[in-house]
Amino acid sequence: MKGILVTIDGPAGGGKSSVARQVAGRLGVVNLNTGAAYRAAALLALREETDLSDAPKLAALASRVSLDPDGASIDGERVPEPDLRTPEVSAAASRVSVDAGLREVLLPVQRAAAEEARERGGAVVEGRDIGTVVLPDAELKVFLSADPEERARRRARQTGREAELDRIREAIQRRDRQDSEREVSPLRPAEDAVVLDTTALSLDEVVSRVLDLAAGQRGVRKL
Ligand code: DC
């Protein structure tokens, strides 16, 4: 029997990754982090010193990326997670993700990974446009938001860079703008997504709300 697909979208620092990981664990399904595919394409572009606005080149680079529950690969070779998490790669990933051609190449990559996971029991798939574009037929769609100040605090704590709070907040706001103002697949909740503002919620509270929603998938309403 095919498993459940849960999508978790939202802006950077909204708690998607922690929530997705824990929800996946509790449901006994895998966690697919689609941002890793964008990050891998960005890393490749930086390595090859590609002009980040060179659309044909970006599409060609993206076609070398694959995705699975353990992360992203380039030319079939696993990219170590820390290489995908540098500030340079984060900024470049946000920039290359505005490119329509690159998104088009990464779309089937993400769908294939989700479909394979679904065959094996299901997945929690996190990203920006998973509920709207990548998996519009997913059983449960969640959109996590939180105010930028709180997201910056969480990110600073997570990375041990408390002293750089101002810089982190600015980077988050810049990425929010880029992610939500882009023409292709802008960051927004799907019409049938449940929108959760996590500003005042603990991780456990968010996880348990999503699990409740997953348990009663049918007939979900906006909270
Ligand atoms: O979730 P993340 O921070 O690892 O994502 C990195 C970048 O990739 C982010 O700036 C937006 C982009 N992205 C996207 O456009 N669509 C997705 N489904 C996932 C990520």
Indicate whether 219 belongs to any domain.
no
Note the pLDDT tens digit of each residue in 144-162: 999 989 889 988 888 888 8
CA of residue 1 to ligand 1 center, whole Å = 30
Q: Which domain holds residue 82?
A: 33-120
* pLDDT bracket for residue 223 (50, 70, 90): very low
Q: In the predicted model, is pLDDT for residue 36 greater than 90? A: yes
State the Cα–Cα distance between residues 123 and 115, nearest whole angstrom: 9
Name the pLDDT band for 176 (thresholds 50, 70, 90). confident
Query: Could you give the C-alpha distances from 176 to 3, 100, 167, 206, in angstroms and in order?
Result: 32, 18, 14, 21
Domain containing 169 — which CATH number?
3.40.50.300
Residue 219: pLDDT above 50? no
The pLDDT tens digits of the residues spanning 84-138 come to 999 999 999 989 998 999 999 999 999 999 999 999 999 999 999 999 999 999 9
Same domain, yes or no: 149 and 206: yes
Q: Are residues 128 and 57 in the same domain?
A: no
Q: Note the pLDDT tens digit of each residue in 185-211.
A: 788 899 999 999 999 999 999 999 999
Same domain assignment for residues 136 and 111: no
Q: Which of 59, 87, 120 is the last residue of a domain?
A: 120
The answer to whether residue 220 is domain-embedded is no
Same domain, yes or no, for 134 and 179? yes
Q: Are residues 81 and 107 in the same domain?
A: yes
- Which residue, judged by its Cα, is nearest atom 14 of ligand 1? 128
- The mean pLDDT value for 11-27 works out to 92
Check whether residue 58 and residue 116 sit in a common domain.
yes
Residue 16 inside a domain? The answer is yes
99 and 89 assigned to the same domain: yes
Write down the residue that tokens 């600015």 correspond to. 170
Spatial separation of the C-alpha atoms in residues 164 and 108, rounded to whole Å: 37
Alpha helix positions (H), 129-218: 148-159, 165-181, 203-215
Supply the pLDDT for residue 18. 93
Task: Return d(Cα 164, Cα 90) in angstroms, integer.
Answer: 16
The side-by-side arrangement of strands in the sheet containing 4-9 is 30-33, 122-127, 4-9, 140-145, 194-197
Same domain flag for 128 and 204: yes
Whether the predicted pLDDT of 222 surpasses 60: no
Best of 9, 94, 128 for a ligand 1 pocket test (most atoms within 8 Å of beta carbon): 128
211 alpha carbon – ligand 1 mean position (Å): 24
Q: Could you give the angle at which helices 100-119 and 35-47 cross, rounded to 10 degrees?
A: 130
Give a yes or no: residue 128 inside a domain: yes
**Final residue of a domain: which of 120, 141, 176?**
120
Alpha-carbon gap, residue 71 to 131, rounded angstroms:
20
DSSP 183: S
Question: How many distinct structural domains can be found in the chain?
Answer: 2
Residue 33 vs residue 172, higher pLDDT:
33
Check residue 96 and give its pLDDT.
94
The answer to whether residue 52 is domain-embedded is yes
d(CA 171, CA 165): 10
Rounded CA-CA distance 216/207 in Å is 14
Does any ligand 1 atom lie closer than 6 A to the CB of residue 14?
no
Q: What is the pLDDT of residue 1?
A: 59
Confidence at residue 183, expressed as pLDDT on a 0 to 100 scale:
80
Is residue 222 assigned to a domain? no
pLDDT, the chain, mean: 92
Q: What is the pLDDT of residues 40-66, one digit of tens each?
A: 999 999 999 999 999 999 999 999 999
Same domain, yes or no, for 96 and 141?
Answer: no
Residue 170: other Cβ atoms inside 10 A: 13
Both 87 and 163 in a single domain?
no
Residue 221 included in any domain = no
Confidence of residue 81 (pLDDT cuts 50, 70, 90): very high
Are both 127 and 210 inside the same structural domain?
Answer: yes
Specify if 200 maps to a domain.
yes
Which of these three, 120, 137, 171, is where a domain ends? 120
**Residue 9 Cβ < 6 Å to ligand 1:** no
**DSSP 8-state assignment for residue 11:** -
DSSP code at position 162 = G
Residues 127 and 207 in one domain: yes
* pLDDT confidence bin for 34, thresholds 50/70/90: very high
